[in-house]
Amino acid sequence: MDVSVSLLLCWFVTVFPELVRGSRSDSHRKVSFEYNPGRSTRRVEPSPNVLHVRAVGSSDTIHYLWSTLGAPTVLLVYTSSPNSSLHINWTRLEQRDPSNAVHVEPAEAVVHSAAVIFSRMDQLVALGENGSTIASFLQWKPVAYTSQHPSLANSVPARQYGLQPGRNHSLPAFSLAYAFYGAPLPGGPRLAAMNISFGGPDRGLYEPGRHIRWSALIGHGEPPQERFSVLVIVIMTVALGLPVLLLLLGGVTVCIIHRRRTTTLYQPVN
């Protein structure tokens, strides 16, 4: 089955002022993208794909990493330094035990980190390490699509189930999260898992095309609030205001016509 998880858009959204205010920084960030940072281009054998997005503010930096190394993972690291940098030990990362192959320096500048791991087709594993009152978030709309071209006709509900504490869960050993955190220790990052199902009794689980497209948003700071766009507001104003305006104009027109007819039929007697 073809599974499309659209998470790249979240990196563009997280530099919006709403999230920047949540991270106690100014509203301007310098955003840069790196693919497989630090890996020698002379190596021709297949390698893990790591996309690094770095959003630098005046006094802090937000690092986002997306990789399909083993279990697909999104990693977020927030630091209190505008000069923090990502380091990857590619030799270790390509081993079956990639623990501690990924780190951000200086280590003392790391304030908060979080990761979302797609451990199974229908399960998310999330973990986080808080060093501040401002944390990360993960949100999505409760809908998925069974086609590459989303529309109401091919939409199916996406249902989430209760967040389960991580006592019975562990990090996938071959994943970007494991490469950053290693094996979680007592008192370390908090781990939790959640199941998400697509479809329902009336629509079935998957359509014959066996394709699911589902989008999520991960970021640092306050999550964005849903609000109507200017286009939607204009459409709603026209849709609701035009009938009222036509009703008022019709009423005024009827009154004028009625008054004129009354004046014509009843002439004053001299």
What is residue 16's predicted lDDT score, i.e. its pLDDT? Answer: 37
The pLDDT value recorded for residue 64 is 92
> Does residue 157 carry a pLDDT above 60?
yes
> Is the pLDDT assigned to residue 54 strictly greater than 70?
yes
Per-residue pLDDT at 262:
64
pLDDT grade for 208, boundaries at 50, 70 and 90: low
Q: What is the pLDDT of residue 43?
A: 58
Pairing of strands 211-215, 2-6: parallel
Look over the chain and give the mean of its residue pLDDT values, rounded to a whole number.
76
Q: What is the pLDDT of residue 162?
A: 78
**Statement: residue 2 has pLDDT above 70:** no
- Kindly list the distances between the CA atom of residue 100 and the CA atoms of 103, 173, 224, 258, in Å, as whole numbers in the listed order: 7, 11, 32, 86
More confident residue, 121 or 191: 191
Q: Is the pLDDT reported for residue 67 higher than 60?
A: yes
266/235: higher pLDDT: 235
Instruction: Give the pLDDT band of residue 122 (cuts 50, 70, 90).
Output: low
Percent of the chain with pLDDT over 70: 69
Work out the percent of the chain whose per-residue pLDDT is above 90: 18
Q: Give burial (CB, 10 Å; 0-12/13-18/19+) of 241.
A: exposed
Burial class (CB in 10 A: 0-12, 13-18, 19+), 262: exposed
Q: Which of 196, 131, 122, 191 is nearest to 157 (CA)?
A: 196
Concatenating the DSSP letter of every residue in 106-160 gives: SGGGEEEEEEEEEEETTEEEEEEE-SSS--EEEE--SEEESSSS--GGGEEEEEE
The C-alpha atoms of residue 113 and residue 32 are separated, in whole angstroms, by: 19
**Tens digits of per-residue pLDDT, 81-114?**
999 999 999 989 888 888 889 999 999 999 988 8
Whole-angstrom distance, CA of residue 47 vs CA of residue 235:
49
Torsions phi, psi for 71 (to 5 deg): -75, 125
State yes or no: pLDDT of 241 exceeds 70. Answer: yes
Q: Give SS3 for 48.
A: coil
pLDDT score for 117:
87
**Across 177-262, where does the E strand assignment appear?**
190-198, 211-215, 217-220
**Per-residue confidence (pLDDT) for residue 207, from 0 to 100:** 52
Check residue 148 and give its pLDDT.
Answer: 79
Write the CB contacts of 14 (distance below 8 Å, at least 6 apart in sequence): 55, 62, 64, 218, 219, 220, 221
Give CA angle at 138 (136, 142), nearest 5°: 160
Q: Taking residues 183-205, what's their average pLDDT? A: 70
pLDDT tens for residues 10-40? 333 333 333 334 444 456 889 999 999 988 7
pLDDT reported for residue 159: 84
Report the pLDDT averaged over residues 179-195.
76
Tokens for 115, please give them. 């990761």
Confidence of residue 49 (pLDDT cuts 50, 70, 90): confident
